[in-house]
A and B are shown apart, each in its own frame.
Chain A
């Protein structure tokens, strides 16, 4: 069956090597301790020793994880603490793990995404909306962390990891599509690799020579060579397969072979198309988490969701076919040495007449996996899931961990981070939406009788934010991630299923109107009416109503709908890094605005849309209509593939192939086309 999986070849991307001149934190990308913006420094600036970013720190990691999360466990003095990256408080919280009390708070002036305690006790944090990696030091458990130094990153730093020798710190940047390697001692950039869209978690191979990067969208996992001079990037397909389809296909091919007929002459075009889809596999999404452990050597676990976007030709009445589960969870197992997935881990055996016989089954699928860690004692993979606010434990030795689910714990709302307290054999979960810390005994692998020995959890509510979120925004965020909520969809999909982190899933769905690409929401919803590719909704609530209808959701009450609208419209846009080549972008702006290209004719105004329908010759054979609402170009550079049916993989292809039907670009030189592309990427 292995040959069924598309093993994508080495898509080599040229990396930008770090400048050798970056001798110390603060040079080039880096912004050393002295360059630290004063409004983000809260604790004292500690003197550095040796390397420009080395400093004494009293923290000692519990369990020595090499990848970050939104919480990290450590000893500080005689206290056992959890450092929590609280994105709403824009601070790192220090919580006493045993007393469950807040000991200290370290304001950062920006939203931290992950924290990690290094082997030498320093605390690393990524500031997502400030494009910065900061290094902090602990003196006492009840004192704020002190800033040691910081370094600039590409746009939207998310995850952190360290190499096994502790010499290198790796940071992924979601919007910036980078994996950057920093010298752990100086924060000088050692390597900077361009990866695919929306990178999230990074883990490092045991030999420290390879980094594996998950992607929230795009159906791939990036494999970055850290050791070679070019730091080549390859991708592993994370697509999945339906067990029944594979079996059905095998059976049919067997029959045809037996009958000694040629497949090419016997299969209709539709059958060939169907077989092709089976061969390619289903796209995947929600690749937020990765985990690895020495108890399952050579295996990297990648929770994700496999998507069946439907057959365009059938024009289903919703998003995807009614007859197939549109989204199913999976836990892909990556063969670390081979750089492939175990096919057995990305096959979804369809629940035909079993497993869900009991329609009251209380185990909703994990459709929004967000964090993962391996418990070495029980050899279980723990995955925290948004929407259902649950931690699921899977057998980490199983060929298909999803089949080896062991138990579940109910945790707080929005469980963004998870860690294992190996000293007490408990799981610790930080839930951002309700700001709770949940702990629970991990136990063994035995079945648990819910009524005689229920799995107990201990939930601790942290103090309210000094600057509270608006109720609408807070409620809207929960509703946006509500998986398994019949008000939103009949099949369990949440808004965040197709819009992970408010972005788009990079998938083209079969809809009643024809194929439709999901559109990014974060930072680009307001002021772009009318909505949808057809522009058939004048307001956001109207468009949401249409969407719930297509998802067969029962719909929200008006107050809830208002909250959801508030969240969607206030979702921050990714913080772009400063443009590298301003002159080129300016040249692109001029080309964009020129009469020759005529781009600005339709993409006009502050939101780059005239809000009107146009026929640009893009009608797909399955489309009902050939006219489409002009999409906003805001943030267009990070949202490929392009057009309503995703026909163009990148902006370059789009500019080249739409000449004459959507503006004019044929006359542009390669440099000018590059400038136009750079300008679009800056919007």
Chain B
């Protein structure tokens, strides 16, 4: 028997870090990476089935919709701005409160992570390409923007708008995606339903950053099939606030998240395979033993910092006063971008398409400076 040299890659310093960090891991459960107990994706045949629509379903055009026509879930906001050469900008949002806020603030809204999301059919109906005929609703975000009829913009006026909303069941294992398509007349605020339905979803995995991945089978009347993956992240989390979410498909096209609480990526079911990689930001546990601040703490801290700056003016040291909040504490957060791979593939041996959900880091760790209120 011959002696050999054996070494491990973990240094003592690393071990100390592990010891320190393990004590605080529990504090960041909500933003921890996907865990080892991730459920195995259900088989394709076990997924609930429904049907979505794309803008291609909208074949006829509507010139005018009466102001009295409406559809639940569609709220139309018209800003008080003077109409530009492009016409007047009109928003479609998911609740009356937000519509009022938009009207009041000239289209500005502080709301992030809207539960009801919209997309508008922005195809040029005079030139519908082959690609347009199979297009999906894209740019789903917290609101849809339309323009009143204007000669300079032939596509303005009545437009088809898609609305969708995800509701997660109390058990967290299932969800529903309710959707509706409607014509919206930006001039009258009238809304006329085209179609609506519900797609049931089942959890197929975990998303980096504490979210869940749901999926449902989308079986269209025209024979097209897809798996609709829906990523639902916890609302009001720091990782959402600090990062951004978008998906890149195999053909290089990119889907951007735009203020919507969920992120839907449809993967077509083909005789081959297709996939998308979703970029998400993950908040990592602190190495200094301090608990990771909450979304509310950070936003409170930043607000306090803004007040401080406003009150300070040019004075270097503020005079203690009831009007001036205590100076917030500066903290450094560890964040890292992760990629969530979603795919559907089928070989000739597979009796049904194979669903795959996995994740990896796609960038190195970086730090983010934030402010949190000091403990009194």
Which residues on A are within 8 Å of B, measured CB to CB?
1-2, 100-103, 142, 243-244, 246-247, 250-251, 254-255, 257-258, 297-299, 333, 335-338, 342-345, 347, 349-350, 352, 354-355, 357-358, 360-363, 395, 397-400, 403-407, 410, 443-454, 456-463
Contact = CB atoms under 8 A, between A and B. Distances in A.
Contacts of A333: 273, 345, 347
Contacts of B354: 397
A310 to B, nearest CB: 20
A495 B371 CA distance: 50
A338 B348 contact: yes
Nearest to B282: A447
A363 B7 CA distance: 23
Residue among A243, A354, A406, A458 having the largest count of chain B Cβ atoms under 10 Å: A354
Interface in B173-192: none
Interface of B: 1-10, 14, 17-18, 21-22, 25, 33-36, 38, 127, 129-131, 208, 246, 248-254, 270-275, 277, 279, 282, 284-285, 287, 334, 337-339, 341, 343-345, 347-350, 354-356, 358-366
Contact of A446 (B17, B38, B274, B284): B38
A463 B251 contact: no
Main secondary structure of the interface of A (DSSP, over half): loop
B9 to A, nearest CB: 5
Contacts of B130: 254, 257-258
Contacts of A362: 364
Given A400-B343, A454-B9, 11 more contacts: A254-B129, A254-B131, A298-B348, A338-B348, A355-B279, A355-B339, A358-B363, A398-B345, A447-B208, A447-B338, A447-B360
Contacts of A459: 6-9
Contacts of A344: 250, 272-275, 343, 345
7 contacts: A243-B252, A347-B250, A358-B363, A361-B363, A398-B356, A405-B360, A452-B21
Given A142-B1, A406-B358, A298 B36 contact: no
A102 B285 contact: no
Contact of B345 (A247, A251, A399): A399
A100 B287 CA distance: 34
A103 B1 CA distance: 5
A633 B121 CA distance: 65
A355 B362 contact: yes
A162 to B, nearest CB: 21
Contacts of B359: 406, 445, 447
Contacts of B271: 2
A40 B275 CA distance: 52
Given A349-B248, A446-B33, A398 B362 contact: no
Main secondary structure of the interface of B (DSSP, over half): mixed
Contacts, number: 221
A450 B246 CA distance: 24
Nearest to B343: A399
Nearest to A449: B284
Nearest to A400: B275
Contacts of B6: 100, 458-461
B251 A354 contact: no
A349 to B, nearest CB: 5
B28 to A, nearest CB: 10
B250 A400 contact: yes
Contacts of B365: 450-451
B341 A452 contact: no
A403 B252 contact: no
Contacts of B254: 354
A320 to B, nearest CB: 20
Given A2-B272, A454-B14, A101 B1 contact: yes
A297 B21 CA distance: 41
Contacts of B8: 456-459
A410 B279 CA distance: 25
Per CB-CB distance, the 8 closest pairs between chain A and chain B, nearest first, are A298-B349, A399-B273, A447-B33, A344-B273, A399-B345, A452-B21, A399-B343, A358-B363
Contacts of B273: 333, 342-345, 399-400
Given A398-B275, A405-B360, A460-B6, A337 B341 contact: no
Given A344-B273, A460-B5, A445 B38 contact: yes
A437 to B, nearest CB: 9
Contacts of A443: 36
Nearest to B209: A447
A254 B131 CA distance: 7
B25 to A, nearest CB: 7
A471 to B, nearest CB: 19
B192 to A, nearest CB: 29
Contacts of B348: 298, 335, 337-338
Contacts of A349: 248-252, 277
A405 B285 CA distance: 23
Nearest to B363: A358
A244 B358 contact: no
Contact of B349 (A337, A363, A410, A460): A337
Contacts of B349: 297-299, 335-337
Contact of A354 (B9, B248, B347): B248
Contacts of A254: 129-131
Given A103-B1, A344-B273, A449 B285 contact: yes
Given A298-B349, A337-B349, A397-B356, A258 B248 contact: no
Nearest to B132: A254
A102 B4 CA distance: 8
Contact of B356 (A258, A338, A399, A453): A399
Given A358-B363, A451-B365, A446 B34 contact: yes
A452 B341 CA distance: 24
Given A358-B363, A459-B7, A403 B347 contact: no
A367 B14 CA distance: 30
A297 B351 CA distance: 11
A452 B36 contact: no
Contacts of A463: 2-4
B366 A403 contact: no
Nearest to B337: A358
Given A404-B341, A445-B38, A247 B251 contact: yes
A361 B365 CA distance: 9
B311 to A, nearest CB: 37
A397 B41 CA distance: 11
Nearest to B285: A452
Given A342-B272, A343-B272, A395-B358, A100 B251 contact: no
